[in-house]
Structure 1
Amino acid sequence: MKKVFYYLAILPLMAGLTACENNDEPNPDDNSSDVKTTYGAYIVNTGNWNQNDASIQWYDLTTKEISGDIYNQENKKGIGDLQDLCIYGSKLYAISTTSSKIEILERNGKIVKTISMVNEAGQPKSPRYATAADGYVFVSAQDGTVSKIDTISMSIVATAQVGGYLEGLSYNKGKLFVNKSDYMSDGTGNSVYVIDTETMEKIKDITVVLNPYTQNIVGSDGYIYIVSNGNYAGAEWLPGEESWIYGTLQKINPDTYEVEELCNASYIANRGDKMYILYSEYYLPDRAKCFVYDIKTKEEKEFIDFSSISTPGGIAVDPNSDDVYIISNPYGQMSEVFVYDNEGNFKHKFETGAYTTNIKFLSE
């Protein structure tokens, strides 16, 4: 696998594009029409369990080259595990579940500060996902808390105690929408919590399809789009087809909290009126497909022949070119990313690290 390290010169320059102030609110995954430039993307590699082989890579859109692990290069050590990466202002916020930490990094991967995520008894909080707005970064955790990090002091200034195993989250109009997935703990978990970001108090509990998990985004229309994984339809421990609950995309009205079920889905990425969707039930491989869902007309259109993607692991859209990036995680091998134009024509592919789970574009 070819690795290059030109990013040592490029990333410090890009760090100067934004300032870390409380009114600084760049959105690297912005799907609005005023995005002029996409510089590249951070590749989030979760790694293997307890192997200290998670990594952050930089993919340059101009040269089509991918770096080695920028975290290791800058800090001379492994990151441990890595669950999520949030770009906000001039910093990266790396979320590690098993290591129970949040590391604030420069754009080139160098550690600025490490926040240990433990409770008063010294037990790990197990942070999961992050979103940012209004000068703060908000982090969900499996201990049922959401932490509010001030980007100036780089410290936790408030915590919401709401309970449940919390996963993906998004921000809209002063509110957080947080997936509560208790499926692995007690077989339930069918809620999205709404939290006021000013008071950090829960103001609503929205009922959704079983097991809302990692996917929770704000669409171009302002609605909250979430994916519930269901109960892993087709698994041998389920009594029969009548008991199967499929992976389901839903949208939530951020004002009325009304929920609408849209279609089957596992991973989603939004660009304008298009929702790019991967659908793959582990125990029902014949149902796998990749398609585009029009959020206005509700029409579905096949995007690519999904047979080329052995083990789908995620999808992302470049907010400038509209190119679609699909992650493949073949068992026992390094991950790959397949790149298509917005009509589904294959462009190229590149190899990434161990178990790639996300792609975060850096745009302005």
Structure 2
Amino acid sequence: MKKSLSIKVLTALCLATILWSCRKDKGVTPEEQTQLPGQGSTAVNGLYVLNEGNWGSNKASIDYYDYATGVYRKNIYGQANPSATLGLGDVGNDIKIYGSKLYIIVNGSGKLEILDVKTAKKLAQVDISNCRYLTFYKNKAYVTAYEGFVAVVDTATYKLDAKITVGREPEEMAVVGDRLYVANSGGYTSSNYERTLSVVDLATSKEIKRIDVAINLHRVKADQYGDLYVTSRGNYGDVKSNLYVIDTKTEAVKRKFDIEASNFAIDKDFAYIISTAWSNATMSNVISYSKINVKDETIIPGGFISDGTDKEIVMPYGIAVDPISSEVYITDAKDYVTPGTLYSIDKNGKKKFSVSTGDIPAHLVFYTK
């Protein structure tokens, strides 16, 4: 009896040790470094890449590409924050820089992480359930939450100042003048999608109207002329995704491009669009790359990749454009399980390099001087 009990206790201790080791290992994944070409002297210090990590896997992570040295550092959060034994958290959904701080939305973990932009060391955390995207205006961070509001966070005190009621399941936002435009998706209820942009007066933190656009809105970005470019995800069936232009002077839709759009970035006079759309006819994804002149709102034939690199990319997911060189960075989520890839495409549409990232690389932000 005693021998049997001892074996059981020993087995339990061994199992507990294994489980503890697994838990601990999740938070201490070592940083990896890859040498890439440097960018020389530029006003950009580098590029942060936020990897979403699969839902429930607790594998959100941050990579950093240093322009001066050409070193690509993979999984820098653990190195900068060794006491964070569980890592960054579950599902990294947005990343932005404001002043000297790096702001990260971790959707599954329900938090806004605030880091030092130079060191990636954690400064603070604001808990916001089901948070999605963020933007800034006059020392305030605005965070959409799927509960139907925009949270207002003071960037000095890290305190939650207010909640602005908007539409159901709000997604991306953009600021033009003193107004905040919020894309409402209604994405949880496919039989009754939302189809509006909420317009928020930033002086009063109140929603003042809604602009009817299309069902299941997602991305919102402003060009340098004050127009908003907005994507609709459609219903994933007979209503396809699309790209719309909103005139913020009239606050009405002035253009529908009739091109599918999953994600896009605007740099100067051009918008760079990537699309991954499921085809029931071929039972596969249809991938496309488009380029639009936002000044005259015309589609430029041929897209923005000229050397066949688009054939290498399995699942285009995130996109950003260097504000100085106009190089386009595209992330490839591949199978959403294994590490992805970051591609650099020069302004002539040719591949400069590619590098392995964390799982589901999705969101990018340039750290400028």
TM-score range, shorter chain: 0.7 to 0.9
1:269 Cα deviation (Å)? Answer: 0.9
Whole-Å separation in 1 of the counterparts to 2:241 and 2:368: 31
| Residue 300 (structure 2) pairs with residue 300 (structure 1) | yes
> Which residue among 233, 252, 257 is the counterpart of 1:262?
257
**How many angstroms does 1:273 deviate by?**
1.4
SS at match of 1:353: strand
C-alpha distance in 1, partners of 2:187/2:94? Answer: 20
Question: 1:142 and 2:141 equivalent?
Answer: no
- Cα deviation for residue 287 of structure 1 reads 4.2
Where does structure 2 lack aligned partners over 5 or more consecutive residues? 1-29, 36-41
In the alignment, which residue of structure 1 is the partner of 2:74? 68
How many Å apart are 1:301 and its aligned residue?
2.1
CA distance in 2, matches of 1:346, 1:320: 17
Match of 2:347 among 339, 342, 348: 342
Match of 1:47 among 37, 41, 53: 53
Q: TM-score, normalised by structure 1?
A: 0.82
Match of 1:175 in 2: 179
Partner of 2:107: 97
CA drift at 1:186:
4.1
Q: Distance in 1 between matches of 2:289 and 2:325?
A: 20
Could you say which residue in structure 2 is the equivalent of 1:22? none
Q: Which digits, 9 at most, give the CA deviation of each residue in 1:269-327, with x for residues without a partner?
A: 11111111112212365742212111234132222243221111121100011101111
Alignment of 1:1-364 (within 5 A): 3-4=32-33, 37-76=43-82, 77=84, 78-81=87-90, 82-107=92-117, 108-117=119-128, 125-187=129-191, 188-213=193-218, 215-233=219-237, 244-259=238-253, 260-264=255-259, 265-283=261-279, 285=284, 287-297=286-296, 298-302=298-302, 303-304=304-305, 305=308, 306-331=310-335, 332-364=337-369
Distance 1:5 1:344, change over 3 A: closer
- TM-score where L is the length of structure 2: 0.81
Structure showing greater radius of gyration is 2
- Please provide the CA RMSD for this pair: 2.0
Whether the 8 Å contact between 1:50 and 1:80 is mirrored in structure 2 is: no
Q: Distance in 2 between matches of 1:296 and 1:161?
A: 33
The one-character-per-residue Cα deviations of 1:203-226 (angstroms, maximum 9, x if unpaired) are 11111121111x211112221111
Aligned residues: 317
Higher RCO by CA contacts (8 Å cutoff, separation 6 or greater): 1
Q: Is the 8 A contact 1:3 1:65 kept in 2?
A: no
Q: Counterparts of 1:168 and 1:299 in 2: how far apart (Å)?
A: 23
**Counterpart position of 1:29:** none
Partner-residue secondary structure (3-state), 1:73: helix
Residue 49 of structure 1 aligns to a residue whose secondary structure is: coil
SS of aligned partner of 2:188: helix
The unaligned stretches of length 5 or more in structure 1 are: 7-35, 118-124, 234-243
Show the counterpart of 2:13: none
Q: Which moved more, 1:301-310 or 1:334-343?
A: 301-310
Percent identity for Structure 1 against Structure 2: 30
CA contact (8 A) 2:223 2:294 kept: no
Cα distance in 2, alignment partners of residues 296 and 102 from structure 1: 35
Structure 2 SS opposite 1:71? helix
Shift of 1:2: 8.6
> 272-281 vs 293-302, which deviates more?
293-302
Structure 1 67/201 Cα, relative in aligned 2: closer, same or farther at 3 Å? same
AA partner of residue 74 (structure 2): G
Mean alpha-carbon deviation: is it higher for 280-289 or for 221-230?
280-289
Could you tell me whether the CA contact under 8 Å between 1:319 and 1:363 is conserved in 2? Answer: no
- The letter for the 2-side match of 1:315 is I
